[in-house]
Amino acid sequence: MIPRQKGVAVWRQIADRIRAQIAAGAYDATGRVPPETALAEEFGVNRHTVRAALSALSQEGIVRAVQGSGTLIERRDRFDFPIGRRTRFTEGIGTQARDIKGVLLSSCEEVVTTDLAERLDLPSGARVLRLDALRTADGRALSRSTTWFPAERFAGIDEAFRKTQSITRALALLGVADYLRAVTEISAIHAEPDDVADLGLAPGAIVLVTKALNTDLAGLPIQYAITRFPADRVQFTIRNA
């Protein structure tokens, strides 16, 4: 059932599949995972291997085992993040969580790279403000973003973000009442050491990476952002209404 190639432990592969099953609502009827013996038979492995998988999920807070009773599902949430012409992080996720926080990890001014200069339509040598932020929803890390603004036009955006905890509200403070999403690139990679630390992931976990360009209403680029999401907590929806 489970392929025995090398490099990825069988218990991890099984953990990934059970997590996906839970997220898909496969066990909603009972609110619990099937017994270890049943899972062992389903995946064609020893019960100990299933136990290793469930132990990992238990560490993640997804399930909780009760001796004699079974393994209960603690949570099965995957946030949906809509992407469209007027994409806003906080608004998009807003109805799905109560307590959304944006923490500014660091900010600095730097000279644009050639790649970034092209995207933001800046002359080479121009200066940009770089903001590193972590967003959490109900206490769980939801994204880790690095954002660049043209330094001249958006001086003070770091303080504005620190106060408002939101890019949208920070931009509003600086006189940008509205802005538009021009392009979004989406890819997926394995978690890197930074992701493991910042987003609280297991190595081998999946990170969804978006690279987004926002413009003002005149079409002038105002912001370029690279954001990393834990794939087991997030999905994207593109609506062409």
Q: Which residues contact 1 (CB under 8 A, 6 or more apart)?
A: 42, 43, 44, 45
**Per the structure block, which two tokens stand in for 100?**
């959304």
Q: Which is nearer to a copy of itself, 59 or 152 (CB)?
A: 59
Binding mask 71-110 for DNA (x = CB under 7 A): x---------------------------------------
Distance CA 31, CA 69 (A): 12
Q: Could you tell me which residues are beta bridge partners of residue 83?
A: 238
Q: Which stretch binds DNA (CB under 7 A): 30-38, 78-86, 132-140, 161-169?
A: 30-38
Listed ranges 69-77, 87-95, 193-201, 229-237: which one lies at the site for DNA (CB under 7 A): 69-77
Interacting partner of 223 out of a copy of itself, DNA, none (Cβ under 5 to 8 A depending on kind): none
CB–CB of 137/100 below 8 Å? yes
Cβ closest to a copy of itself, residue 79 vs residue 161? 79
Closest to 184 (Cα-Cα) out of 211, 146, 223: 211
- Give DSSP secondary structure letters for 170-210: HHHHTT----EEEEEEEEEEEPPHHHHHHTTPPTT-EEEEE
Residue ranges that bind DNA, judged by CB under 7 A: 6-7, 9-12, 33, 35-37, 44-46, 48-49, 51-52, 54, 65-71
What residue ranges bind a copy of itself (CB under 8 A)? 1-3, 5-9, 11-13, 15-17, 20, 56, 78, 80, 83-85, 180-190, 192-193, 196, 202-204, 206, 208, 231, 234-240
